[in-house]
Amino acid sequence: MIKLNLKKNTRYIFVFIFLSVLIVLLFWNQLDKILFFPAITPGEWCTSQPCVELEIFSLKIILVQPSSTFFVYLLGFITIAIGITLIRTSKNQKFISWWGIALLLWGIGAILAGTSYQAFSYEIKCAGEAFCVWTSLWEIFYLIFSVGSVNAMLIAQTHLSEKNNWSKIMGRYASANFIAYVIIVLIGAMIPIQFMISFELMLLFLAPTILFLLIINIRKYLFFKKRINRSLVIIWISLILILGLYFLYYVLDISNILWVQGIWFSENDILHIGLILWMIYIYLVVNKFEKDVK
C-alpha cells in the first residue's frame, strides 16, 4: 500500500522538491557576491559583444547578441515543441515519453540560458550595479534543467529493452546523479563557490552519462544489430562532435577575431545551430522507435 501511494504521488513529490529548491535559491543565494575576474563595469559590457538599445513603451532595454539570441531561442522553442510532441504521441511507450521529457527540460534550459547569457545579460547582470555579476538564477536553473535532461535520456535508455539489473542500476544512477548535482548547486549558490555552479562542473556530471550511453549502444548494436541502437550511437557521437566544435571555436578565439571585423558569430552560435540539427535528428529517430526497435 505504501509503495502504491508513493508511485501515485510521485509527481507531487517532484513538485514539492522543485518548489523547495526554488525557495532556497530565491531567498538564500549569494550569487551577487561572485564577480567577473578581472571585474567588468556595465559600461564595458558591450565593448566585447554587440548590443542594441530597444525602447518598449518608454522603457529602454539593452538587448545583447541579437543574432545569438535568435539561435538559442529557436533551439529552445524547437526542442520544447519536439518534447511535447513526443510526450503526447508516446502511446504508453516509456522510451518515447522519457525522451520527450528530456527534450522538454533541455528546451526550457536553453531559453533560460539564452535569456541570461545572451539576450538580457546586461539587464540581469549589470544594470544598476557597479560591477557586473558573474551568474544569475536563470543560469543556475539552466544548469539544473540540463543535468535533469541528460539523466532523463538515461532513464529512457532503461526502457529500450527488457528490465534487468543493468536497467535498475542505470535508473538509480540517473536519480542519484541528479539529486547530487542539485545539492552541489544549492551549496555553491548559497556559500557561494563559483566552480560548484559552473558550466565546467555541469559537463563533469554529464560526461560519464553521455559516454556510457554511447558505449552501451555500440555494444548492443554489435550484438543485436538493431537499427535503434545504431541511431542512438549516431546521436551520442554527433553530440560529442558538436561539443568538440564548440570548444575548438572557443580555444581558437574565433569569436573575437570575427568581432574585430564587425562580424558576430560566436562559439555559442556553433553550439546552438548544431544542437538544432541534433534535436531534429533525435525526433526522427525516436518518432519511428517502434519500427527501428525490431
Which three cell numbers, joined as nine digits, stand for 45?
559590457
Which range has the worst mean pLDDT, 85-94, 122-131, 275-284? 85-94
At residue 288, the pLDDT reads 86
Where is pLDDT greater, at 266 or 287?
266
> Check: CATH 1.20.1070 for 39-292?
yes
Instruction: List pLDDT tens digits, range 62-118.
Output: 999 999 999 999 999 999 999 999 999 998 899 999 999 999 999 999 999 999 999
Nearest to 95 by CA among 104, 86, 84, 106: 86
- Could you tell me the pTM of the whole model? 0.93
Q: How far apart are CA 65 and CA 68, in angstroms?
A: 5
Please compute the mean of the pLDDT values over residues 22-46 and round it to a whole number.
95
**Does position 53 have pLDDT exceeding 50, yes or no?**
yes
- Whole-number pLDDT of residue 290: 62
Per-residue model confidence (pLDDT) at position 57: 82
C-alpha distance from residue 147 to each of 53, 85, 137, 176 (Å)? 34, 21, 16, 11
Which is it for strands 51-56 and 59-64: parallel, antiparallel or unpaired? antiparallel
Question: Which pLDDT does position 16 carry in this prediction?
Answer: 82
Q: Determine which helix (DSSP H) or strand (DSSP E) holds 51, and give its type and residue range.
A: strand 51-56
